[in-house]
Structure 1
Amino acid sequence: MIEEDIVIVGAGIAGLATSLGLHRMGLKSLVLESWENLRVTGFAFTTFTNAWKALDALGIGDTLREQHILLQGLVATSTISGIPTSHVVYRPSRKFVRHEIRCVGRKVLLETLANELPQGTIRFCSKVVSIEEQGHAKLIHLADGSVIKTKVLIGCDGVNLVVAKWLGLQEPVFAGRTSIRGHAVFKENEGHCFGPTFLQIFGDGCRSGFQPVNQNTIYWFFTHAQSILPRDLIDQNDIFGTEIFFSWIETEEADSINTKQYMVMKLGKAPKEVIDIIEKTDPKSIVISPLRFRWPSSILFGSISKANVCVAGDALHPMTPDIGQGANAALEDGVVLARCLSQALLLKATDETAEYNNINTGLAKYAKERRWRSFELASTSYIVGVLQQGSMFIKFIRDKFLSPYLAGMLLKRAEFDCGKLDT
């Protein structure tokens, strides 16, 4: 049996951010990852101001800034008219928050987090199958038969949800919508003509976004209320985070063509450069996944922590991508959790029971800090999603009157500071 003080399940954004935060505070952790390497599906995500505050707290903000374009504003456009309905400039708000928004490569972020950790922190091919209590400790049983004993167990396993199940959190449900994501790569000597703008396109039951990662890459996403996936590929009993990858080499070439044609059709009168980006995208880079979320009420009233066990990231607040805050919130979780837990573990404890009580107090403090923030983000995302897939009347109201409000909401939810590690 292996003994570790802190075990984190899942080497995703939340897991690695928490581990790095603990490392910065002088605490060692072991991160268990079921895959053979870091999971980098999805390619990129929008990193808002709140995430950059978390990244700066972890000490990797400047490294990532050097590799990604600073976006200057957001433009919302209707697919029906092709005319912009709102234009938001990223400037200081009434709260004097200077917005910083970039599209960050997921692989770059995960590798940057992992490279800052001591060698041996991440243990790959380590799938957790069950959790057992032994006094104050937790016994983690892995698929290979090995057992790890730990004082603290943190679940960042957004796909497997083993820890969340142990805490009794409600399983995520299918949102009734599908997400298609991809990225277009341009030759270095050509580049793209897409400005430093986050372009959102609404209409006909769809929401899509296009934004530059760097001078040669454009990331895009497309969500629609009706799934275009073959029904035999969607397992309704599967847990949140299931992603269906089409192997365009092994399937018919028509699959990729039909997917692109479908998106081009739904984009309506979108600008020509947007259509060109879809056409430029390598079919092998396209990922299609059903969207799932946890009901906000479960986040508000469920068990985020229990004694020396807690959850963070998608294991805590799986939400639809309608306000683009899933990964951002995971980074916030990592900083807050590392701070609360390190403060608890650095307190003097006379025996195991005293240490256990300190850990319990620290995780309870983390849960208190993150509960309302997670509820707020999940609720907002759910409401925006309902507006997206609602009736024809709701869609009309959204496209005609709510578009500027929805665009501004992205910035309002980013006006949050998770604080430093040592505050």
Structure 2
Amino acid sequence: MEADESTQDIVIVGAGISGLATALGLHRLGIRSIVLESSENLRATGFAISLYFNAWKAMEALGISQHVRSLGDRFQGWVVTPISSGNPPKEMFFPESEEYEVRCVQRKSLLEALAGELPDGTIRFSSKLVHIELSGHYKMVHLSDGTILKTKVLVGCDGVNSVVGKWLGFKSPAKTARLGIRGIAHFPTGHGFEKRFFQFYGNGVRSGFVPCDQNSVYWFLTHTSTSLAEETNPENIKQFVLNKIKDLPKNIKSVVETTDLDSMVMSRLKYRPPWELLWANIAKDNVCVAGDALHPMTPDIGQGGCSAMEDGVILARCLGEAIKFKNDLKGETEDDQNESYKRIEVGLKKYARERKWRSIDLIIAAYTVGFIQQSRGKWMNLFTDRFLRSFLSRLRLKMSHFDCGSLSINSHHDQL
């Protein structure tokens, strides 16, 4: 018998990287879920994402790594240069091993790769969560259009201002003093850049330019300017960036000059203070959070999206182990329902334990790298240039050396 349309096994809020990765991981295990997305279509906020070793491990588990490899060129290394001094650039070339596989892909293409593997109807667009209430072992999910969904598992992948996170008791993320400006430039006849990650730093500014493919370049600039904090005119924001990078080579400046105003965004950088995760409810009852809803971090080590995919694989595996097989969610008797609820609760607590310290490590590393690279002053710049630059580059790679494992779960279970 078909379940009532308003009753769901697993509801995931948010069709971003963590939400789609979780849904795909569950689908690979034969477990159905639905994903609620408040927008009318897949959002591509942030324009592009750098994919490191840990992301490739997650994508291998999800079965999309080969497809995603075709979406972006592999980096040959990094070039790090002071933004204004005459010091020569420092170069780091990557070995050919899998540990150093880094590619930049357009975020929308990655989301489409994840979504394209899901069964039709998994993602429900224009579905905005406004309220959560209890109903026995179920959670009642209220949407802005008046729809109410009854679910046995609720997963919040709804970003830094997560409604699910607030229900679990999370505070709003802390704001830094830094603003981030991001954009993507398109070159119909090709941009001519080498396959490298170009970074520039100094005078309170950190900037980077990353080729995604032969025709598009993603760029970002973070700074502590108070004069630009309330600026909404994209033309003025663009001019601000050009002023900050005026001493850089002409071809680098052309990337910003070429960027359309609607291909650019500015936002305040936020993060979850790591000590909050020490006592936070990452999971409670049959509810949990993942991705930016769990561990918002500054973008300084490029791990926001990569770690969101880790979350998705590990969460799907823990839920898969708890549920064992999809019929476990269909328990008819009260005892069946109680047993199912307890297993889900244990599975989500296991996920929370696995993700707590990894999340704390990532937040601290990102904040530290950003703080050092954003620092001002002649002596700090000298110290950073002489001693910290290679350390920071290696720290970025070290934080990516994480294997979330496969989706295979313990298959022996009691037959019902």
Normalization by structure 2: what TM-score? 0.91
CA distance in 2, matches of 1:82, 1:48: 31
The percent of aligned pairs where both chains have the same amino acid is 51
CA distance in 1, matches of 2:242, 2:144: 44
Equivalent residue, structure 2, for 1:299 = 277
Equivalent residue, structure 2, for 1:137 = 138
Q: Which of 60, 66, 69 in structure 1 is aligned with 2:64?
A: 60
Deviation per residue, 1:337-389 (Å, 9 max, x gap) = 00010111016676111111100111111111111111100011111222234
1:364 pairs with 2:349: yes
CA distance in 1, matches of 2:122, 2:265: 29
Amino acid at match of 1:375: I
Aligned length: 397
Match of 1:296, SS? Answer: coil
Q: Is the 8 A contact 1:79 1:268 kept in 2?
A: no
> Structure 2 matches for 1:158-307, cutoff 5 A?
158-187=159-188, 190-229=189-228, 231=230, 255-256=234-235, 258-307=236-285
Amino acid at match of 1:67: L
CA distance in 1, matches of 2:279, 2:50: 29
Tell me whether 308-317 or 140-149 shows the greater mean CA deviation: 140-149
> Structure 2 matches for 1:142-153, cutoff 5 A?
142-153=143-154
1:105 pairs with 2:113: no
Q: Which of 302, 324, 343 in structure 1 is aligned with 2:302?
A: 324
CA distance in 2, matches of 1:311, 1:82: 46
Specify whether residues 419 and 162 from structure 1 end up closer, same or farther in structure 2 by C-alpha distance, changes over 3 A only.
same
Specify whether residues 391 and 80 from structure 1 end up closer, same or farther in structure 2 by C-alpha distance, changes over 3 A only.
closer
Tell me whether 344-353 or 273-282 shows the greater mean CA deviation: 344-353
Tell me whether 392-401 or 136-145 shows the greater mean CA deviation: 392-401
Match of 1:110, SS? Answer: helix
CA distance in 2, matches of 1:313, 1:369: 14
Aligned residues: CA RMSD: 1.8
CA distance in 2, matches of 1:354, 1:312: 25
Q: Is the 8 A contact 2:246 2:253 kept in 1?
A: no
Tell me whether 355-364 or 75-84 shows the greater mean CA deviation: 75-84
> Structure 2 matches for 1:81-120, cutoff 5 A?
81-91=85-95, 98-120=99-121
CA distance in 1, matches of 2:374, 2:78: 22
Match of 2:400, SS? Answer: coil
Equivalent residue, structure 2, for 1:382 = 367
Specify whether residues 227 and 32 from structure 1 end up closer, same or farther in structure 2 by C-alpha distance, changes over 3 A only.
farther
Q: What is the Cα deviation at residue 98 of structure 1?
A: 2.6
Gaps of 5+ in 1: 234-245
Equivalent residue, structure 2, for 1:404 = 390
CA distance in 2, matches of 1:291, 1:211: 20
Match of 2:141, SS? Answer: strand
Amino acid at match of 2:362: L
CA distance in 2, matches of 1:215, 1:228: 35
Match of 2:275, SS? Answer: helix
CA distance in 1, matches of 2:129, 2:69: 35
CA distance in 2, matches of 1:79, 1:389: 12
Q: Which of 70, 75, 97 in structure 2 is aligned with 1:71?
A: 75
CA distance in 1, matches of 2:238, 2:383: 28
Amino acid at match of 1:295: P
Deviation per residue, 1:80-102 (Å, 9 max, x gap) = 2254443222227xxx7631100
CA distance in 1, matches of 2:227, 2:385: 23
CA distance in 2, matches of 1:375, 1:85: 32
Q: Is the 8 A contact 1:13 1:331 kept in 2?
A: yes
Q: Is the 8 A contact 1:344 1:359 kept in 2?
A: yes
CA distance in 2, matches of 1:82, 1:265: 18
Specify whether residues 181 and 144 from structure 1 end up closer, same or farther in structure 2 by C-alpha distance, changes over 3 A only.
same
Specify whether residues 414 and 406 from structure 1 end up closer, same or farther in structure 2 by C-alpha distance, changes over 3 A only.
same
Tell me whether 37-46 or 384-393 shows the greater mean CA deviation: 384-393
CA distance in 2, matches of 1:106, 1:16: 13
Normalization by structure 1: what TM-score? 0.90
